[in-house]
Amino acid sequence: MTLQGSMTALATPFKDGKLDEGAYEALVEYQVTNGTSVLVPMGTTGEAVTMTAPERRRAIEVCIKANRGRAKVFAGAGSNSTAETIEGVKTARELGADGTLIVTPYYNKPTQAGLVEHYRLVAQAHPGYPIIAYNVPGRTGVDLLPETVKRLLDVKEVVALKEATGNILRTLDVFEQVGDRITLLSGDDFVVAPFIFSGGRGVISVSSNVAPRLMADLCAAALQGDIEGARRLQLSMQPLHRLLFIESNPIPVKMALHQMGLFGTEIRPPLTPMTEGNAARLQEELGKLGLLSRKAS
């Protein structure tokens, strides 16, 4: 399975406390018609941790149906419980997702050996089912080290790593350990171009919710070795990236999608709506990029 290019960690629209299925379908359409190669429902950006298992199941189901086989779908199923993760992967597999994104277990701080065992047990329960491992120590409190990634080569179901440290030296350290035996994907929108030039194959992005075509073009330029084109696109998107992370993700990206007319304003506690001042700055930047007129069709 080839995984490369711009992949979107989908935000989740809510209306009156429930999944807004129409808005979700429109977001999927906006993505697949603007170059997104992989849809990733039920990750951090999707507010999966504040959704029930039936809600997550329905969101994955709606995503897959709206996609109609055009992009790949890797559904988030990570938890700090290995047993719960196995059940989440079962749901994704039953619904027809092409694979799953599994974050390192958070809060309970497993050892490096425990991280390997977590992925091994999930893979053992779902043999042959592709897994993207997800390392985001800023959120989880645990760091999947490069030498541990090398140990994951023995778990053949782990086909890729989403590396969200934003550290290019870390990227090179991982490549030093594993070469091209696992696909590396950036989990940080700020470093997509240098990440790909260092050997990565793409990004699982937050910003591509809002600007899928720009991110797809950036990835394509970098993968084609167009250094100047990729640099230009990366720099043009940096102000947007900063604003989309000025408050906790996904607060800003949901506000941006609302300003674009794609989502309502609803977000689940303990997250709160974006502050007025930051929202105004975000809207101004969307206008500069010509995104306020971009409606999902």
Angle made by CA atoms 83, 84, 85, in degrees to the nearest 5: 90
Length of the chain: 297
Q: Are 18 and 222 in contact (CB under 8 A)?
A: no
Q: Burial code of 256-279, b = ≥16 C-beta within 10 A, e = fewer?
A: bbbbbebbeebbeeeeeebeeeeb
162 is catalytic: yes
How many C-beta neighbours within 10 Å does residue 122 have? 25
- The alpha carbon of 83 is separated from its chain's Cα centroid by a whole number of angstroms, namely 23
Counting Cα atoms < 13 Å in the Cβ hemisphere of 255 gives: 27
Catalytic residue among 30, 162, 288, 295: 162
Report how far residue 152's alpha carbon sits from residue 198's, in angstroms, rounded to the nearest whole number: 21
Counting Cα atoms < 13 Å in the Cβ hemisphere of 151 gives: 14
119 is catalytic: no
Catalytic residue among 24, 30, 134, 254: 134
Strand partners, 74: 99
* Dihedral, 85, 101, 99, 30 alpha carbons, nearest 10: 130
Furthest-apart CA atoms within the chain: distance in Å: 49
**250 preceded by a cis bond (ω within 30 of 0):** yes
Residue positions annotated with a catalytic role: 134, 162
